[in-house]
Amino acid sequence: KHIRNYNFDIRMKSVTRLCHTKNMVTVNGKFPGPKIVAREGDQVVVKVTNHVSNNITLHWHGVRQLRSGWADGPAYITQCPIQTGQTYVYNFTISGQRGTLFWHAHISWLRATLYGPIVILPKRHVPYPFPKPHKEATLIFGEWFNADPEAVINQALQTGGGPNVSDAYTINGLPGPLYSCSKDTYKLKVKPGKTYLLRLINAALNDDLFFRIANHTLTVVEVDAVYVKPFNTKTLLITPGQTTNVLLSTKPNYPNANFLMAARPYATGLGTFDNTTTAGILEYEKPNSTTAGTTASSPKLPIRLFKPKLPALNDTALAAKFSNRLRSLANAQFPANVPQSVDRRFFFTVGLGANPCPKNQTCQGPNGTKFSASVNNVSFIMPTTALLQAHFFGQSKGVYTKDFPGFPLLPFNYTGTPPNNTFVTNGTKVSVLPFNATVEVVMQDTSILGAESHPLHLHGFNFFVVGQGFGNYNPKTDPSKFNLVDPVERNTVAIPSGGWVTIRFVADNPGVWFMHCHFEVHTSWGLKMAWVVLDGKLPSQKLPPPPSDLPQC
């Protein structure tokens, strides 16, 4: 098997966007960080050395980490942070996956600047299940804060209010021509009459994004590193934590025009968000032009530049329509192994709530309380040591309790009048699953402080999205409508605003696995929980011991 070695040096670097220069945490001085390229079956070895004053961990988002949970990365879940001056080697094998994923910091809000693409090519001589593209390009969406994002979230957590929003969205770190004082635009140079594979990644902190290219149709072929039945669309929806591969067929002849590729939020929630648009330019090379490839350069807008019409900010119908079109390939070569029966059934409510304001403090959350977020009304408290270590060495006492989700729940109409008491409980609780259990989780948006979509991300597994809908989940009638044939398989799913989704997965990966909203602000408020998956009987079903350089708390 081929080994892909990377050195990631965490360093400060001065970066300028929107006429603001700031010193920020980067990998190897790059923003966005370096791209990891591997083939299915390769071993990836990333040596991370921390040269900054912040504690660091990195996460390989969507990589299954089969029996390599020590390399997964969420701080205080699978590892203690890499402290200043320390090194940790993330070592994992990519098996059974090919497509687009990404890596990002998994501690506090450092993923605002520490992120980069992961491109997993099929095994050598294995073609894509779609026509071979002429070229490939990666577009990773992010957010730019003029302020230090660490200061933004620390301030929000102290005051109990919402954080300040970012100042721009970015494509490959560049805000594009629609912001004032923006000097940097991503450009994709293309030739007429060709097909391009675009690898789209939403690494933004807090916003679902609609994406569209003016005057072009896109063919969706893969999400979250799983092939899907191809379909055409003009507009895409991509939540934080999701990736989408699309084919772009360029116009047959040189169009004598350029086209904006633009993204802006889909948002239904309360509170503030950055409602601006980031854009890159799809630039057709003039016939006989010799320059090729993609570059970043100053936004000299050409005379004819077409702009895409993006949907309304709160177009939930379009968001749902897009999600409902996603289907697994489910063919002989790429079967959809959907669990047809269920060993463990869970019903989780997810949403926002509040904590009382501490005495002698004024809080800026709802009615003078502190904002909070919860799963089943439990707002997850981060432990001070890593859950995986505590589990592996049998030292869970005082670290976590195994009583999640704590049935029975109070009956409540999730779409109707909010309850009088919007306070959450707080705790570090996990759900324990036997090895190989088939698990079904219904996740219901509570809408207690307003309906909001939540991009729920599960570490260590892909899951099948067997059902979704609006309003209250009905356990009597909804299961009969589940798709157990070709549901989309992914690692991050949007729980619809004011609705629910049902996922199924097989607990075939021993370890401790984080599940959380990929809106960083909701995670910070506690919308997270962890699964403990027990070892199986065979040696090949057990989590190996930790590597010797695993950081200590």
Q: Kindly state the smallest distance separating residue 439's Cβ from ligand C2O, in Å.
A: 18
Tokens of 297: 């350069």
Q: Quick one: which of 549, 530, 508 has its CA closest to 67?
A: 508
Quick one: 103 or 284, whose CB is closer to ligand C2O? 103
| 264 part of the interface to ligand C2O, by CB under 6 A | no
- Whichever of 105 and 449 has its CB closer to ligand C2O, that residue is 105
Tokens of 180: 């004032």
Nearer to ligand C2O, 187 or 429 (CB): 429
Distance between start and end Cα atoms, the chain: 34
In angstroms, give the least distance from the CB of 548 to ligand C2O: 25
CB of 516 to ligand C2O, least distance (A): 6
Least separation in angstroms between CB 493 and ligand C2O? 13
Shortest approach of ligand C2O to residue 18 CB, angstroms?
A: 26
> Per rule CB under 6 A, is residue 457 in the interface with ligand C2O?
yes
Binding mask 48-77 for ligand C2O (x = CB under 6 A): -----------x-x------------x---
Residues 244, 220 contacting (CB under 8 angstroms): yes
Pick 74 or 81: Cβ nearer ligand C2O: 74
Q: Give me the least distance between CB of 205 and ligand C2O, in Å please.
A: 11
Question: What is the Cα–Cα distance from 203 to 492, expressed in whole angstroms?
Answer: 12
- Of 67, 104, 187, 504, which one interacts with ligand C2O (CB under 6 A)? 104
By beta-carbon proximity to ligand C2O, the closer residue of 61 and 429 is 61
516 binds ligand C2O (CB under 6 A): yes
- Of 514, 519, 525, 531, the residue at the interface with ligand C2O (CB under 6 A) is 514
Tell me whether residue 17 or residue 516 sits nearer to ligand C2O (CB atom): 516
Task: Report how many residues bind ligand C2O under the rule CB under 6 A.
Answer: 11
Among 67, 1, 9, CA closest to 546: 67
How many CB atoms within 10 Å of residue 180?
Answer: 8
- The correct pick among 81, 241, 498, 526 for binding ligand C2O (CB under 6 A) is 241
Candidate segments 91-99, 131-139, 206-214, 510-518, binder of ligand C2O by CB under 6 A:
510-518
CB of 530 to ligand C2O, least distance (A): 11
Minimum distance between the CB of residue 60 and ligand C2O, rounded to whole angstroms?
A: 9
From candidates 199, 264, 454, 459, binder to ligand C2O by CB under 6 A: 459
Report DSSP state, residue 392.
H
* Residues in contact with ligand C2O, shown as a per-residue x/- string from 72 to 91 under the rule CB under 6 A: --x-----------------
Alpha-carbon distance values, 48 to 5, 6, 8, 73, 489 (Å): 11, 8, 5, 12, 31
Rounded Cα distance, 213 and 236, in Å: 10
Q: Which two tokens stand for residue 262?
A: 């633009």
Q: Three-class SS string for 484-511?
A: CCCECEECEEEECCCEEEEEEEECCCCE
The closest residue (CB) to ligand C2O is: 61
Tell me which amino acid residue 372 is: S
| Residue 474 CB neighbour total at 10 angstroms | 11
Q: Does 106 engage in binding with ligand C2O (CB under 6 A)?
A: yes
User: In this structure, are residues 360 and 455 in contact, taking their beta carbons and an 8 Å threshold?
Assistant: no
Beta bridge partner(s), residue 139: 200
- Contacting range for ligand C2O; rule: CB under 6 A; set: 14-22, 79-87, 465-473, 511-519: 511-519
Q: Could you tell me the two tokens for 93?
A: 């094998």
Minimum distance between the CB of residue 241 and ligand C2O, rounded to whole angstroms?
A: 5
* Cis before 311? omega within 30: no
Rounded least distance, CB 215 to ligand C2O, Å: 33
Cβ atoms within 10 Å, residue 100: 25
User: Which is closer to ligand C2O, CB of 98 or CB of 459?
Assistant: 459
Measured between alpha carbons, how far is 409 from 513 in angstroms, rounded to an integer?
Answer: 23
CA 381 to each of CA 83, 528, 534: distance values in angstroms, whole numbers, following the listed order: 21, 9, 22
Residues 134-193 that bind ligand C2O (CB under 6 A): none
Helix (H, G, I), strand (E, B) or coil at 198: strand
Closest distance between ligand C2O and the C-beta of residue 137, in Å? 22
CB of 404 to ligand C2O, least distance (A): 17
Q: Peptide bond before 383: cis, by omega within 30 degrees of 0?
A: no
Which span sits near ligand C2O by CB under 6 A: 31-39, 85-93, 137-145, 512-520? 512-520
Phi, psi of 419 (to 5 degrees): -70, 160
CA distance 450 to 405: 23
Q: How far is the CB of 190 from ligand C2O (least distance, A)?
A: 30
104 or 391: CB nearest ligand C2O:
104
User: Residue 522 interacts with ligand C2O (CB under 6 A)?
Assistant: no
Please identify, using beta-carbon distances, which residue of 316 and 389 lies nearer to ligand C2O. Answer: 389
Going by DSSP bridges, is the β-strand pair 218-223/243-249 parallel, antiparallel, or unpaired?
antiparallel
Q: Which of 409, 413, 419, 387 is nearest to 400 (CA)?
A: 387
**Quick one: 104 or 522, whose CB is closer to ligand C2O?**
104
> Is 57 exposed, middle or buried (CB count within 10 Å of its CB: 0-12, 13-18, 19+)?
buried
| CB nearer to ligand C2O: pick between 106 and 187 | 106
- Measured from the CB atom, is 188 or 515 closer to ligand C2O? 515
Indicate the burial class of 5 (C-beta count within 10 angstroms; 0-12, 13-18, 19 or more).
exposed
Q: Smaller CB distance to ligand C2O: residue 57 or 396?
A: 57
Q: What whole-number distance in Å separates Cα of residue 495 and Cα of residue 470?
A: 10
Hey, what are 493's tokens? 């799913």
Q: E strands of 369-428, at which residues?
A: 370-375, 378-380, 425-427
Stretch that binds ligand C2O, among 163-171, 359-367, 464-472, 514-522 (CB under 6 A): 514-522
Instruction: Report the residue number, 389 or 492, with the smaller CB distance to ligand C2O.
Output: 492
> Which residue shows structure tokens 């605002």?
112
Residues that bind ligand C2O (CB under 6 A): 59, 61, 74, 104, 106, 241, 457, 459, 514, 516, 518
